[in-house]
């Protein structure tokens, strides 16, 4: 994954419009623990640890994360009408802006949230991840598929954008193990999978266009 700057004023406006609504509603009772798995919650540190990565790599997996603490607003409809409407508007605005309808996740992590190591070989493709946190204390971490080096991409205050490629099962050299952590504050991520490289490249260009 590589980080690109978000310079496009239209995109910034779309993201900030959503954020303003999100930050106004009471998010404290959302079912953040629904995906923690049968053994209950772990720490964000463990979910993104080398120990847990090796555990996951040593067993049969489907590509989805097995341990998450957070809610995906694609699957959980928030009880507040204002936010539910803002999420519909976001999809509409982004579709108009990019011409692409490929939103994969809208993940809201509470303080102490995480998405444990997984690789999404079941949902491969070129991707765009837009993340927000107030102070930038969270991070995205991946294992380089070739060198096996583990790289942590620290958030920054406000929105950040990462782009890259998650390989499918039949491209073992491009299987992309990754995880995310929000140990100290709330974090929000919008994830898009773009099926065509050309469309992805032009979206990356548009995001960086001032
Ligand atoms: Fe993922």
Q: CA nearest 179: which of 116, 126, 112?
A: 116
The per-residue pLDDT for 149 is: 98
Ligand 1 centroid to Cα of residue 118, in Å, is 6
Sequence-distant (≥ 6) Cβ neighbours of residue 197 within 8 angstroms: 126
Q: What is the pTM of this model?
A: 0.95
- Give how many domains the chain has, as a whole number: 1
Identify the CATH number of the domain in which residue 67 sits. 2.60.120
Ligand 1 centroid to Cα of residue 188, in Å, is 14
Radius of gyration of the chain (CA): 16
Ligand 1 centroid to Cα of residue 120, in Å, is 6
- The mean pLDDT value of the chain amounts to 95
When pLDDT is averaged across residues 88-101 and rounded to a whole number, the result is: 85
With tokens 């700057």, the residue in question is 5
Q: CA nearest 139: which of 170, 176, 180?
A: 180
Cβ < 5 A residues, ion ligand 1: 120
DSSP class of residue 99? S
Per-residue model confidence as pLDDT tens digits over 34-44: 989 888 899 99
Q: Which domain holds residue 130?
A: 2-208
Ligand 1 centroid to Cα of residue 177, in Å, is 8
Q: Look at residue 103 and tell me whether its pLDDT is greater than 80.
A: no
Per-residue model confidence as pLDDT tens digits over 164-190: 999 999 999 999 999 999 999 999 999
Task: For the chain, give percent helix, strand, coil, nearest 5.
Answer: 30, 30, 40
């Amino acid at each position: 994954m590589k980080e690109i700057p978000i310079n496009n004023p239209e995109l910034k406006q779309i993201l900030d419009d959503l954020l303003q609504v999100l930050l106004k509603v009471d998010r404290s009772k959302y079912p953040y623990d629904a995906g923690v798995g049968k053994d209950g919650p772990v720490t964000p540190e463990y979910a993104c640890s080398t120990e847990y990565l090796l555990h996951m790599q040593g067993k049969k997996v489907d590509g989805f994360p097995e341990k998450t603490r957070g809610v995906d607003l694609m699957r959980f409809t928030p009880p507040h009408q204002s936010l539910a409407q803002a999420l519909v508007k976001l999809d509409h605005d982004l579709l108009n802006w990019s011409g692409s309808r490929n939103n994969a996740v809208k993940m809201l992590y509470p303080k102490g949230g995480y998405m444990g190591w997984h690789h999404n070989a079941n949902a491969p493709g070129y991707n765009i991840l837009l993340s927000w946190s107030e102070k930038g204390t969270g991070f995205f971490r991946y294992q380089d598929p070739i060198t096996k080096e583990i790289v942590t991409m620290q958030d920054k205050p406000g929105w950040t954008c990462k782009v890259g490629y998650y390989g499918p099962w039949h491209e073992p050299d491009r299987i992309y193990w990754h995880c995310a952590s929000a140990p100290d504050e709330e974090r929000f991520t919008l994830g898009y999978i773009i099926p065509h490289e050309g469309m992805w490249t032009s979206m990356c260009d548009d995001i960086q266009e001032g």
